[in-house]
Structure 1
Amino acid sequence: MKRGLAFIIAVFMLIGLLAGCSGENKAEADKTKDGKIVVDFWTFWGSETRRPIIEKIIDDYNSSQDKVFVKHTFLPWGDIWTKNLASVAAGNPADVIVNDINTVAQRAENKQVEDLSQYIDDSFKQKFHPHLWDTVEYDGKSYAVPFNTDTRLLFYNKTAFKEAGLDPEKPPATWAELEEYAKKLDVKNGDNYERVGFYPLWGSVGASSWMTNADSGKGFIEDGELTINTPKKVEALNWILDWKERLGENTVQAFQAEFGSEQANPFIAEKVAMWVDVGTFYTQLRDYGQDVDFGVAPIPANEEGSGNWAEGGGFVVEIPKGAKHPEEAMDFIKYLTDVEAQKYWSVKNYDNVANIEAAEAALNELEGPDKMVYEATVKNLKQTKMFPVPVEYPDYHSRLNPHIDNALLGKTSPEEALEEAEEDIAKMKKE
């Protein structure tokens, strides 16, 4: 018993000692040994491509001044969002975090992010693309700063175009031309496809993108009104189903089963002749598809004159609610979104940055295919729509997507699916 009691006492003493050490380390972590304020910066950029780029920017900032030291904390995609919300609730969040651009208003309404208005004036806002700045405003206040965005382009194989008797300098401009070209680009061996000209749900694109494209750039909620069950969106779903019917379910599934990244990407492997993806897809193409002669173009318009509309996403940098060092965090954010850092990010990633001057400066440093792709993405932003989630319809996608999936699986007609979706989402409106 005495030995057992002694063991228990020893355990409690050790726990107390460790707790004391933890508290001491936590206190010391607020500052470096030379007195700099430590700013904890959370990102999900841990790949071989992006991690060195963001850490170079951080190192440059740390060397540029003597008051703040930014520490980079990498968290895997998905985990970062969960841990951010948990840390805000616990009162010990990061100082700066990279977060989704289309859900800033949701976090602002839920008091999960700091109001940055006191640090921002009109001259600062004007540095960024207006359609991106709109995403960070809520109730007349600014809750984040745009970092980057994206747009979708049509990548096409020029060699395959020549083989099919198509002009490699004239990519399809409309949906009708896209279908016409795709049939010519298909290569079959008996009943089996060796190459598919195009399939609308392959790449970084989904049914919602085609529905937006068909409906003159309209999303599912416009100015607070539901615009889900529209004739053009129904038309888009029927159009996608026509592609599946022409190729056959077995062909679609067989090709998808082989999809991967790098050399296994079907466009890079030259098993698909046309492919919709974001501009940064070029980094894979550059590194693993050196022999692919390709071009890029806007997504074909539903019909001539209707617009080459694409969906856009991206990320912001923000200060979680309750962060200990908001002023120092904002100083870093201003550096991270200024010309030099943004230009470096874009040149290395071919990524659309939010800072207008930086995007233009990046073009002057690029050449050849690098410049061709990046210039195409910058031009394409004029026909790229952002769809911030309205606070009146939080998480409406969770109700919309199952209806779209049912239509694509043939469980219900597109007309019925979108009618039911609009009725379902109307019920969730928050007053």
Structure 2
Amino acid sequence: MKIKNTVSFTLASVLAAGALAACSSGSTTTGGNTSGAAATTGGGAKTINLWLAGKEDTPKELTDWLAKTWTTKYPGSTLKITHIDWPELTTRLNTALQSDTPPDVVEVGNTQAAAYTSVGAFTDLTSKMSELGADIGPKSFIESGKWDGKNYAVPYYWGSRYIFYSKKAFKDAGVAVPTTLADFNKAAVTLKQKQAGNSKYSGFWVPGQDWRNGISWLFANGGDIATQEGASGSASCPRPTASRA
């Protein structure tokens, strides 16, 4: 499979990411897209193609601001923004990477990034990290965009997890509201134990489809969903090492 190495990375700051994506490819594609180096110097086709995942994940107010700011910062060039639904992203990106017109910058999910960074589909940004800034995002997010010690993807946005709890349940069980992860784990166990006669009761309940929140807790407590075995890179999927509270 032939892969066009013009797709850059998961976005950190859309504007900064676009600028670095532009500068990092350094060559013109055969399909008419050029690198941002051409766009900023006034040579070649002056369009940077940016793919954003989700129809509404990035608000219109932001994309409007981004397009305007890009034009102001790089006169004569155009930032073309395309929104792609998450279910379509992988298929369309795989197809585009084999064409002469891949996107210059693309937003992908954390769990998708490794599939592209590991095969050389994204541009090496290691030398550009200082330009993006040390506060580009949480360390763990930056690490997730690395492959073989090099930076290929950087954070676009991130968020916090919120927990809703029953004040009555905590009061009835005599449990104080936790302020640390360790306290939370103990509280969940205690709440479960106080309801020993109720097999359907859980001290920490996560909706069935909301696996992202559950897996964050799993990793934070030293659990894994897969481990590498041997030099071949084969993976096994053990049972989670952190049990349900």
TM-score (structure 2 length as normaliser): 0.58
The structure 1 residue matched to 2:102, chosen from 93, 99, 104, is 93
Distance 1:163 1:203, change over 3 A: farther
Contact 1:88/1:112 (8 A) holds in 2:
yes
Give the Cα separation in 1 of the matches to 2:145 and 2:170: 45
- Report the 3-state secondary structure (helix = DSSP H, G, I; strand = E; otherwise coil) of the residue aligned with 1:72: strand
Pair 1:175-2:185 in alignment: yes
- The residue type equivalent to 1:199 in the other structure is W
Give the Cα separation in 2 of the matches to 1:163 and 1:121: 49
Contact 1:43/1:80 (8 A) holds in 2:
no
Q: State the match for 1:126 in structure 2.
A: 134
Q: Report the CA distance between 1:59 and its aligned residue.
A: 3.3
Give the Cα separation in 2 of the matches to 1:140 and 1:183: 45
- Report the 3-state secondary structure (helix = DSSP H, G, I; strand = E; otherwise coil) of the residue aligned with 2:140: helix
Task: Describe the superposition over 1:198-226 as per-residue Cα deviations: whole angstroms up to 9, x where unpaired.
Answer: 43554733665554344x36674489897
Q: State the match for 2:53 in structure 1.
A: 44
Give the Cα separation in 1 of the matches to 2:126 and 2:220: 34
Spell out the pairing of 1:293-312 with structure 2 (5 A cutoff): none
- Report the 3-state secondary structure (helix = DSSP H, G, I; strand = E; otherwise coil) of the residue aligned with 1:73: strand
| Structure 1: unaligned runs, 5 residues or longer | 1-25, 244-431
Q: Larger RCO: Structure 1 or Structure 2 (Cα < 8 Å, ≥ 6 residues apart)?
A: 1
- Report the 3-state secondary structure (helix = DSSP H, G, I; strand = E; otherwise coil) of the residue aligned with 2:49: strand
Pair 1:55-2:63 in alignment: yes
Distance 1:136 1:50, change over 3 A: closer
- Report the 3-state secondary structure (helix = DSSP H, G, I; strand = E; otherwise coil) of the residue aligned with 1:85: helix
Q: State the match for 1:378 in structure 2.
A: none
Give the Cα separation in 2 of the matches to 1:221 and 1:142: 23
Q: Report the CA distance between 1:185 and its aligned residue.
A: 8.7
Pair 1:205-2:174 in alignment: no
Contact 1:161/1:185 (8 A) holds in 2:
no
Paired residue total: 199
Pair 1:79-2:93 in alignment: no
Q: Which structure shows the higher strand fraction? A: 1
Spell out the pairing of 1:91-240 with structure 2 (5 A cutoff): 91-117=100-126, 120-122=128-130, 124=132, 126-128=134-136, 129-150=138-159, 152-158=161-167, 160-161=168-169, 164=172, 169-170=177-178, 173-181=183-191, 198-200=204-206, 202=208, 204-205=210-211, 208-209=215-216, 211-214=218-221, 216=222, 220-221=226-227, 233-234=240-241, 236=242, 239-240=243-244
Distance 1:43 1:219, change over 3 A: same
- The residue type equivalent to 1:113 in the other structure is F
Spell out the pairing of 1:367-406 with structure 2 (5 A cutoff): none
| Structure 2: unaligned runs, 5 residues or longer | 1-30
Give the Cα separation in 1 of the matches to 2:125 and 2:178: 47
Give the Cα separation in 2 of the matches to 1:179 and 1:100: 33
Q: Report the CA distance between 1:175 and its aligned residue.
A: 3.2
Task: Describe the superposition over 1:60-86 as per-residue Cα deviations: whole angstroms up to 9, x where unpaired.
Answer: 423532243212211111202211110
Q: Which structure shows the higher helix fraction? A: 1
Q: State the match for 2:28 in structure 1.
A: none
Distance 1:78 1:106, change over 3 A: same
Max radius of gyration: which structure? 1
- The residue type equivalent to 1:133 in the other structure is I
Identity of counterpart residues, as a percentage?
A: 16
- Report the 3-state secondary structure (helix = DSSP H, G, I; strand = E; otherwise coil) of the residue aligned with 1:175: helix
Give the Cα separation in 1 of the matches to 2:230 and 2:112: 16
Q: Report the CA distance between 1:178 and its aligned residue.
A: 0.8
The structure 2 residue matched to 1:64, chosen from 59, 72, 96, is 72
Contact 1:45/1:51 (8 A) holds in 2:
no
Distance 1:67 1:229, change over 3 A: same
Give the Cα separation in 1 of the matches to 2:133 and 2:216: 28
Spell out the pairing of 1:8-27 with structure 2 (5 A cutoff): none
Q: Report the CA distance between 1:93 and its aligned residue.
A: 0.9
Q: Report the CA distance between 1:90 and its aligned residue.
A: 1.8
